[in-house]
Amino acid sequence: MNNSPESRGINGIKLLFIAAFIIVGLWFVHEIVSTLFFFFFAVVLTMVLNAPVMWLISKKFSRTAAALLVFLGLIIFLGAMFWLVIPRLLEQGTSLVNNLPDYYLDLKMQVVSLVDDYPALQKKLLDNSSLSDSLPSTRMIVMGVGRFSISLLGSIFFFIIFLSVVAYMLLNPIPLIETYLLFFSESQRPKAAEALAKSSKMMEGWLWANFVVGSIQAVCVFFFLSFMGVPGIWVWAAMALFGQLIPRLGFYLMAVPPILIGLSISPSTAMWVLVFYLALDEIMADFVMPHIRATVMNLHPVLSLFAMLAMASAFGLAGALVATPFIAFVKAYYETFYLSTVTKQGLKQQVDVVLLRKI
């Protein structure tokens, strides 16, 4: 072994270069994390769409024709959603924004009536200056609309890029799959292929579960809030449709705004809306969704919640959105590469030791 000063100097320089490379790599990954999420969603959607593509191929369609038909169906579905739903969402969303001052005043008066026994607090709430302080100025509203317009244009651009990526992967996935398999040694490639196939089935189940449960929630919210006379029912129904994408946290995102709007109408309306959302969340989150996910994904609810909290803490809302698909990928690879080599003999007895504390 060469321990000369010259050799140690060269080794030190190599270590510095390696450390610098790792630091730059970590910085780069941190900077492009949103792009990574973007492509992860594209991969998930492609896996889901590949199922009907393969079904058409089994019916003697070519890969190109099958992929184009499925992708065209997706575009028609999105176009129909935009044509039928988006105008109503924009109309009711605009109405809600325009009526925010009235809702604020009504909500304030409802709260004031609830604190009759606290004159000091009531006086503070009735102070007119608090209204002007709480509502944004015209300049802030104009700036907010400008930022929203720029953000909307950027979102449309990224959505077009997203659909283009999905289309390319759907039309010709073979080179991408081959590249993925080449990352593994020849002996590990069968397991790598099996793990990716499992992940694909779980992604299909995840999207199907969210679509079914989200649709049920949206219909229930639409009819109940219509019956209660809460404004903006299309907005709240749309939020309910996508609420299950974020386990548990999605409930608060979709429930709090209509409850506050209900409170501006009357305390009893707010109470009934709160009871409805609590009951809906308990039924869907504790009975319907776990059963569907257990059937199509074989994924324990605790794993989903842990993944959601961890990813939300690390990456915010985007992390919460990809948490369930991410943990599904981890589970598929863990089961394929590790559990397939582990014996389960005596596992039930060992579980009983933990549960019954048979020490």
Q: Could you give the number of structural domains in the chain?
A: 1
CB-based burial, 142-169: b 16+ in 10 Å, e otherwise: eeeeeeeeeeeeeeeeeeeebbebbbeb
Band the pLDDT of 181: cuts 50, 70, 90. very high
Window from 190-194, 216-220, 261-265 with minimum mean pLDDT:
261-265
Distance (Å, whole) CA 27 – CA 353? 46
Q: Is 357 left (phi over 0), alpha (psi -120 to 50) or beta?
A: left
Q: Is the pLDDT of residue 303 over 90?
A: no
pLDDT for residue 201 is more than 80:
yes
What's the pLDDT band for 90 if we cut at 50, 70, 90?
low
Per the domain annotation, does 326 fall within a domain? Answer: yes
In this structure, is residue 125 part of a structural domain? no
Q: How far apart are CA 197 and CA 179, in angstroms?
A: 15
In tens, the pLDDT along 250-282 reads 677 778 888 877 777 777 888 898 899 888 887
- pLDDT tens digits, residue range 37-55? 888 888 888 988 998 999 9
Region 90-113 average pLDDT: 65
Confidence of residue 131 (pLDDT cuts 50, 70, 90): very low
Q: What is the pLDDT of residues 111-130, one digit of tens each?
A: 666 666 656 655 665 555 44
pLDDT at 284: 79
Which range of residues forms the domain containing residue 310?
185-342
**318 confidence band (pLDDT: 50, 70, 90):** confident
Q: Select the highest-mean-pLDDT range: 6-20, 175-189, 294-308.
A: 175-189
Distance CA 213, CA 254 (A): 14
Residue 115 lies in a domain: no
**52 lies in a domain?**
no
Residue with tokens 């219509």: 226
Residue 136 pLDDT more than 60? Answer: no
| Residues in contact with 288: Cβ distance below 8 Å, sequence separation at least 6, in sequence order | 213, 216
Q: Is residue 88 part of a domain?
A: no
| Domain contains 1 | no
How high is the pLDDT of residue 143? 55
Average pLDDT for 184-199: 90
Give the pLDDT confidence score for residue 120 in this predicted structure: 60
Give the pLDDT mean for 297-307: 75
Least confident range from 16-30, 202-216, 232-246: namely 232-246
Residue 210 has pLDDT above 90, yes or no: no
Please tell me the predicted confidence (pLDDT) of residue 65.
92
Residue 130 lies in a domain: no
For range 232-236, the mean pLDDT: 79
Token pair recorded at residue 148: 């929203």
Q: Which residue has the tokens 């104009």?
A: 142
Q: Is residue 23 part of a domain?
A: no
C-beta of residue 324 within 8 angstroms of C-beta of residue 247: yes
Q: pLDDT band at residue 293, thresholds of 50, 70 and 90?
A: low
Contacts (Cβ under 8 Å, ≥6 apart) of 310: 319, 323
- In the predicted structure, residue 312 carries a pLDDT above the cut 60: yes
Measured torsion, CA atoms of residues 312, 316, 317, 321, in degrees rounded to the nearest 10? -50
Q: How confident is the model at residue 2 (pLDDT cuts 50, 70, 90)?
A: low
Residue 158 pLDDT exceeds 70? yes
